[in-house]
Amino acid sequence: AQTVTQSQPEMSVQEAETVTLSCTYDTSESNYYLFWYKQPPSRQMILVIRQEAYKQQNATENRFSVNFQKAAKSFSLKISDSQLGDTAMYFCAFSNNRKLIWGLGTSLAVNP
């Protein structure tokens, strides 16, 4: 069975600084997708970034980038130039083309 582990329940960062959120996963499959979702207090789950396992190049989306280490089964999210609006829960998720399997989340606070 696939599992997703986020070992940092809470993190904080100063505005404009950089922060990295950790995620590890376990699977025996070779073809899969990894995601980071953001959930602000409004509850709306928002896709931040997506990585296909067959791609060696790390995905980037503006201030968000990932460090995907397939052999180590690690998928960390780096947020550069943190903004107050980045304050939210961040979830790492794994997909085998069907359902999403989620970590417990990391609560990120961006401080002014």
Partner 1 sequence: GAGVSQTPSNKVTEKGKYVELRCDPISGHTALYWYRQSLGQGPEFLIYFQGTGAADDSGLPNDRFFAVRPEGSVSTLKIQRTERGDSAVYLCASSFGTGTEQYFGPGTRLTVT
Instruction: Point out which residues bind partner 1 (CB under 8 A).
Output: 4, 33, 35, 37, 42-47, 50, 91, 93, 95, 97-105
At closest approach, how far in Å is the CB of 44 from partner 1?
5
Residue whose structure tokens are 């970590």: 103
Q: Minimum distance from CB of 84 to partner 1 (Å)?
A: 22
Q: Considering the complex, what minimum distance in angstroms separates the CB of residue 97 from partner 1?
A: 4
Q: How far is CA 95 from CA 24, 28, 79, in A?
A: 14, 12, 22
Residue number with CB closer to partner 1 (57 or 98): 98
List phi, psi (to 5°) of 85: -70, -5
Two tokens at 69?
Answer: 């280490």
